[in-house]
Amino acid sequence: MSQREPLILGIESSCDETAAAVVRGGREVLSNIIATQHELHEPYAGVVPEIASRAHIERILPTIREAVREAGLRYEEIDAIAVGHRPGLIGSLLVGVSAAKALAWSLDKPLIGVDHIHAHLYAGLLEDEPVTFPALGLVVSGGHTSLFLMKDFERIRVLGRTIDDAIGEAYDKAATILQLGYPGGPRLDKLAQLGDDEAYELPVSMLERNSLDFSFSGLKTALLYAVCGKPEGRGSSARMPRDASSLSDLEKADFAASFQRAAAQAIVRKLRRAFKQHKVKTLLTGGGVTANSRLRHELEQMAAQRGLDLRLPRMEFCLDNAAMIAGLAAERYRAGAFDDWTLAASPRSETVSS
């Protein structure tokens, strides 16, 4: 790579990972440091926003220092500071945005604010070749399940999104129903590999005929009733007749495999529908659930059948990370599209709806 390729420090703090990374030229990842907070949120079986922001404050500076050190650089050698500034938990985002502004100001370097969802779509380009547009983009994470039509990384249109739970949220709730602990997605994935995916028939929601929206709450409720039985009584006195502790290990694995099959099918069938409506040959994917073994396998099969350029992120770039932030920021750096000190954290993405 030529020496003029920009060296960008990326910062990510939108949810429960404090992350910093240095990426050269949008592709070459020189460091990718992730300080996870899972142990802090585990007792609550979900992310507690106040705990998350406090932990970001404690971890952000050591994480940034480690990323710069591991990249073998001095701060002055970095060309720009990029930060995921939306969407996410506002208190968490503010920590990353404040750190990025302080660094950019003190080093006299440009500041680049990046949309976290768009960065997930970029993750499959890290350590890989550029792609041809237009493309379909799929983000499947704990907070989002969305399908996009992309002319490039600046012109992104929402084709569909979940009308209830995000797929990662459904995975985490399914894991809670099966008493697998937190975070549930990876544990359910592991257990599913020991089970029979046809043991239980769970619903695959497709919504109306041409809809590209997703729905996962029906699948989650079907699993709840299959494992625990239908609730007895009404309102606050309603009780589930049993729980997952009455299941054998094999039964749990069968439920996990059957859930995973239905969840992956919901994504793949919706993608087939999207490819009928939009003649594109590139599929960019990202978000924590792209780490799921079943979904990866099915997406690879679909790409092989259709001759798609499928970009599944490497495992270390599936979950929240800062390499994807620094990578996407290189596009903005080349265009000279920098932010000023008014860059604000925002809980929402500003991607245009269809």
What are φ and ψ of residue 289, in 5° steps? -75, -10
- Element spanning 283, H or E: strand 282-286
The burial of 79, by beta-carbon neighbours within 10 Å (0-12 exposed, 13-18 middle, 19 or more buried), is given as middle
Partner interacting with residue 291 (select from Zn ion, ligand KG4, none; CB below 5-8 Å by kind): ligand KG4
**Do residues 128 and 323 touch, judged by C-beta distance below 8 A?**
no
Rounded least distance, CB 287 to Zn ion, Å: 6
Partner interacting with residue 218 (select from Zn ion, ligand KG4, none; CB below 5-8 Å by kind): none
- Comparing CB distances to ligand KG4, the nearer of 37 and 292 is 292
> How far is it, in rounded angstroms, from Cα 134 to Cα 212?
18
Partner interacting with residue 26 (select from ligand KG4, Zn ion, none; CB below 5-8 Å by kind): none
Partner interacting with residue 185 (select from Zn ion, ligand KG4, none; CB below 5-8 Å by kind): ligand KG4
- Element spanning 54, H or E: helix 49-70
Say which amino acid occupies 220: K
Rounded least distance, CB 293 to ligand KG4, Å: 6
Residues 261-280 that bind Zn ion (CB under 5 A): none
- Comparing CB distances to ligand KG4, the nearer of 23 and 123 is 123
Cis (ω within 30 of 0) for the bond into 231?
no
- Comparing CB distances to Zn ion, the nearer of 63 and 141 is 141
- Comparing CB distances to ligand KG4, the nearer of 92 and 282 is 92
Residues 126-145 that bind Zn ion (CB under 5 A): 141
Rounded least distance, CB 320 to Zn ion, Å: 4
- Comparing CB distances to ligand KG4, the nearer of 26 and 183 is 183
Residue 230 to residues 128, 225, 289, 333, Cα–Cα distance (Å): 49, 5, 29, 55
- Comparing CB distances to Zn ion, the nearer of 115 and 197 is 115
Neighbours of 344 (CB within 10 A): 12
Q: Which residue from 115, 169, 189, 320 is in contact with Zn ion, where contact means CB under 5 A?
A: 320
- Element spanning 135, H or E: strand 135-140
Binding site for ligand KG4 (CB under 6 A): 15, 141-143, 168, 171-172, 183-186, 189, 287-289, 291-292, 319-320
Order of all β-strands in the sheet with 80-86:
28-36, 17-24, 7-12, 80-86, 111-115
Tokens 């960065």 belong to residue: 119
Of 58-66, 195-203, 216-224, 312-320, the window that binds Zn ion (rule: CB under 5 A) is: 312-320
- Comparing CB distances to Zn ion, the nearer of 204 and 345 is 345
Rounded least distance, CB 185 to ligand KG4, Å: 2
- Residues that bind Zn ion in the complex, under the rule CB under 5 A: 141, 320
